[in-house]
Amino acid sequence: MSNNLFAPTELDWSAGAEIVTSPDQITLSPGTRGQWRIPITRRSSGENLMMNVHGVRGVKDGPTLALVAAVHGDAISGTRTVMETIQRIDPQKLSGTVLAVPVANPVAFESNTRTTGQGMNTDMNNMNRVFPGNRGGWVTQKLANALTEYVLDRADAVVDYHCGSDTSINYVLTIGDENGDEPDSFNFARLMGTPFVFAHDADPFTGTIDGYMKSRGKLCAVAEQGGDTLPAGWYDLAANRVDNFFSAMGMMDVERTMPDKQLLMYERYLVRMDHGGIYIPEVDESALSTMIEGGTLLGRVIDPHSLEVIQEVRAPYEQSAILMMRPTMSRVNPGDYGFIISDGASGRWIDSPKEWMVPLG
């Protein structure tokens, strides 16, 4: 039966950004913007897998900032932030260049999965564990290699957006603190302006964008931002937070949106679902980035077959800082993320980098 009310949308199949096969082909004149497609590989379906890169060059010289999202395909909240940022930039008010990749892993984006696809015709690798990638490797390694050569190697700094598909998250992740080996990296990450900051003593993973940029003496902010259900005004806040980086890098004359203090914490607990079933929350998205009293019931997993409550999730610390949460009812499998909760009492409040400028040279 045909649908006379809603005819199929027709696309201009001949349209599309310029295909480039060398990083040297990504060039912009002052005061212009552009878009390019990087060929990755031809898949067995006949599809030519591409990665799209957008760029804006200001009328004045300056540094290059890269904005990257959807390295994990279910992290689409960052995709929206990157899309809206690159579209609103006025090159007449910009010093330097912004490169943007809204979808770094198109295969994972298509399957809405953290890893590259769902198997059978994909390698199911985690793209943020294989940088700088390998042009002659798996699809995931090819994607990482393209992002490295065409974007990361051209950037002075990167904002790398992460979140989940059915969780909500709002904090920034750092390696070390102001007393560590990389105080500039610490301050750069905190420009995200989140009230909560979590610091690892050492990088727990290899092959990340963050680790690769730091190996080159460059800066990276791991922005754990966004998710499924978010507080009102979230994307306006996300736009303001990107402006913090433009300001600190001397790329735009914009105001910063920063708290006076940020709570720096060193201990956190990842709550996973022990069993599958239906998760019913007891707190909504307004609990994100707040302190919850220890013992508070956060949610329950119910077996829909037997009707049993098979898991209760409670705030584990006397002062439980909610970094990530599952704010809506959802079907869960064993091992699925529920919450990331930090020990607020173990942290300390520090001044935010409201006036700090990125040392460039």
Residue 1 — very low, low, confident or very high, per pLDDT cuts 50/70/90? low
Residue ranges per structural domain of the chain: 18-264, 268-343
CA angle 288, 180, 130 (to 5 degrees): 70
Residue 286 contacts residue 335 (beta carbons within 8 Å): no
Beta carbons within 8 Å of 195's beta carbon, 6+ residues apart: 259, 262, 263, 289
Give CA 285 to chain center in angstroms. Answer: 19
Beta carbons within 8 Å of 210's beta carbon, 6+ residues apart: 160, 175, 203, 220, 222
Tokens of 2: 């045909």
Give pTM, 2 decimals: 0.95
pLDDT at 181 > cutoff 90: no
**Secondary structure E strands in 177-315:** 196-200, 219-227, 261-265, 268-272, 277-281, 291-293, 297-302, 309-314
Mean pLDDT of 275-295: 97
Mean pLDDT score of the chain, rounded to an integer? 94
- pLDDT on residue 40: 97
- DSSP-derived secondary structure letter, 260: S
Place of tokens 């007449």: 92
Architecture of domain 18-264: 3-Layer(aba) Sandwich (3.40)
Q: CATH for 268-343, among 2.40.50.100, 3.40.605.10, 1.10.357.10, 2.10.240.10?
A: 2.40.50.100
Tokens of 134: 């390998």
String of DSSP letters for 151-182: TGGG-SEEEEEE--SS-EEEEEEEES-TTSS-
pLDDT at 22 > cutoff 60: yes
Mean pLDDT of 260-276: 95
pLDDT digits (tens, 9 = 90+) for 109-145: 999 999 998 776 788 899 999 999 999 999 999 999 9
- pLDDT on residue 176: 86
18-264 matches 268-343 in fold: no
Percentage with pLDDT > 70 across the chain: 98
Give CA 138 to chain center in angstroms. Answer: 23
- pLDDT on residue 2: 60
Q: Could you give the CA distance from residue 221 to residue 237 in angstroms, rounded to a whole number?
A: 17
pLDDT digits (tens, 9 = 90+) for 340-353: 999 999 999 999 99
Instruction: Give the CB-side neighbour count of residue 306, counting CA atoms within 13 A.
Output: 8
Q: Could you give the CA distance from residue 271 to residue 294 in angstroms, rounded to a whole number?
A: 14
